[in-house]
Chain A
Amino acid sequence: MAESVIQIEHLSKVFKGDLGRSPSVGVDDLNLEIGPGEVFAFLGPNGAGKTTTIKLLTRLLVPTRGRISILGRPSTSWKSMESVGYMPEQPNLYGYLTGEEFLSFIARLFGLGPGVRKARIAELLDRVGLKDRGKQLIRSYSRGMVQRLAMAQALINDPSVLILDEPMSALDPIGRKEFRDLIFDLKKQQKTVFFSSHILSDAEMISDRVGILKGGRLIRTGKPDELMGEDVHSVEVTFMLGPDAPNLADMGIPDALVQDSRVLVRLDRPDDLSALIHKIESHRGRLVSVVPAKKSLEDLFLAEIGR
């Protein structure tokens, strides 16, 4: 891998228990490297440590042990955030400001001059679909609009690294599609994107690599294709029954979905396919389709988390 953009070494976070409660482990000895231009999806069930890791990356939490560096700068330095854009989970923004005022405030924190600021705000409001809402107070925004504005503020400094915590959680299907397109655009621009998500299909679609976190520990990392494997684990066969076909049980096909004369069978052992085709042909049935099914990211995730 080329020089890492994000480097996490032996990172641990232990939260002290309040009022006599025992301490809890947020992240346990996490090691991870993310390269330039990579889109990395951080997956895990609730409480796995995804948000804790992201807050450690963005200096909101202080690590108990270990170190983080972003673009070669240690995260202990406030300057490490100069080229980073961050969007928190379920963002809350200043309701007393308008969308434009809020973006202007954030742009000033990055030291952007008035000309650049104005152009960037107009461009980003357009990009996130809030072009006509910039002069409205944020308190009048819907949840999805706040999420879009939070995305705009994360991009205001044209960051090299984007850290996004559940970025698609409040978006409708159209918003999710737009967001995926935005990530693809960022990838084309060689931006590094680190995001956590519960929506596994999105993660599978847009990420170069995924990491699965459980109980604060990183249990798997890899490219989705590699993790899911190339092996076909089942086959879905659709066929039409012949005019004089016996019932399916007599044909040796006990589990099937039948609609009129159309039958859908799922074979958990792909090796049984030729036997089934033979049965269909011998009863003058007509084969419609054979669809091999590979393991999905969701299958992998459930298998890993269920262990």
Chain B
Amino acid sequence: MRLCIVALNTFKESIRNRVMINILLFALALILLSLVVGDWSMGHQVKVIKDFGLSAMSLFGLLIALFIGIRLMVQELEQRTIYVIASKPVRRWEILIGKYAGLSLTLLINIVFMTAALWAVGFVMEKTIDFGLIPAIVLMYVEILLMVAFALLFSLLSSPTLSAVFTITMFAVGHMSGFLRDYVVLYPDKGFHWLFKAIYWVAPNLENLNLKTSVVEHLQLQPHAFGYGLLYGLGYIFIVLFIAVAVFDRRDLK
């Protein structure tokens, strides 16, 4: 219950946050821009629009993770607003997860807006709504939530700047997971082989959450690809948040 109270307050904070609104407007503008970009492509206009639109949504997620996810707790700690909540009969994990849940709700609403915008653009071009995009969008939402969880964890362990660097690195490494795996297999004795191996095992494979190409190209999805991706992403989020809670629980609020 208290978790929901904190979540709703964070939701209120997010929707009154100008940065969030600006990022959303930027993403919507990018989706509309896909109409122009689509015009440049020869015969693949609709595919390019969808691809560009989904990429804009993905970029939106990364920006939110960087600008809002990192600030989620840092702002509370720096501005000392945390003193008032943490001294109430509330468990620390309820504060942390409540704030995360509030931001997740805001992100969900934003994703719904952007999906509607993408469908509207697609409808203008195709006179039909492509519901086949939904699995890719759901997994993209999970990926954004995972990035926010990482941003939150890093922000509890380091400075906002370093947290941003770590989060971007995690995003990049997560999408290069296949490359890391291949490198380790192909060059088992090369220098830094152990490091790549370690990163491969620790960092999430974000390609498990990437169905963009499949849905845009109308390719047959691998059986259980969606279900596996969903469980994989949610499992990772659970682990990252679990560590974040353990860190925050022992933290002195100076």
Q: Which residues of A contact B (CB under 8 A)?
A: 15, 55, 58-62, 78-82, 84, 86, 88, 90-94, 96-97, 101, 105-106, 108-111, 150, 153
- Let me know if A59 and B252 touch, CB within 8 A: no
Binds A, one of B80-88, B162-170, B180-188, B195-203: B80-88
B248: min CB distance to chain A, Å: 12
- Let me know if A94 and B86 touch, CB within 8 A: no
Having A60-B83, A88-B80, one finds 13 other A-B pairs with CB under 8 Å, namely A55-B83, A55-B254, A60-B87, A62-B252, A78-B90, A79-B89, A82-B89, A86-B83, A92-B83, A94-B81, A96-B13, A109-B90, A150-B84
B220 within 8 A of A: no
- Let me know if A92 and B88 touch, CB within 8 A: no
Given A92-B81, A93-B81, A106-B88, the answer on whether A15 and B252 have CB atoms closer than 8 Å is: yes
Cα distance A15–B253 when bound, in Å?
12
- Give chain B's interface secondary structure class: loop
9 residue pairs bridging A and B, Cβ less than 8 Å apart = A58-B86, A59-B86, A60-B83, A78-B90, A86-B87, A88-B84, A97-B12, A105-B5, A108-B2
B110: min CB distance to chain A, Å: 18
Which of B13, B85, B254 has the most chain A CB atoms inside 10 A of its CB? B254
Given A15-B252, A55-B253, the answer on whether A60 and B86 have CB atoms closer than 8 Å is: yes
Task: Count contacts on B: residues with CB < 8 A to the other chain.
Answer: 25
A80: min CB distance to chain B, Å: 8
Contact of A88 among B16, B83, B88 (CB under 8 A): B83
B213 within 8 A of A: no
- Let me know if A96 and B81 touch, CB within 8 A: no
Contact of A110 among B80, B81, B88 (CB under 8 A): B88
Cα distance A110–B84 when bound, in Å?
12
Least CB separation from B85: chain A residue: A109
B79 within 8 A of A: yes
CB-defined contacts of A80 to chain B, threshold 8 Å: 89
Contact of A91 among B84, B252, B254 (CB under 8 A): B84
CB-defined contacts of B12 to chain A, threshold 8 Å: 96-97, 101
Given A15-B252, A105-B5, A105-B9, the answer on whether A81 and B88 have CB atoms closer than 8 Å is: yes
CB-defined contacts of A106 to chain B, threshold 8 Å: 84, 88
Cα distance A86–B86 when bound, in Å?
10
CB-defined contacts of A82 to chain B, threshold 8 Å: 89
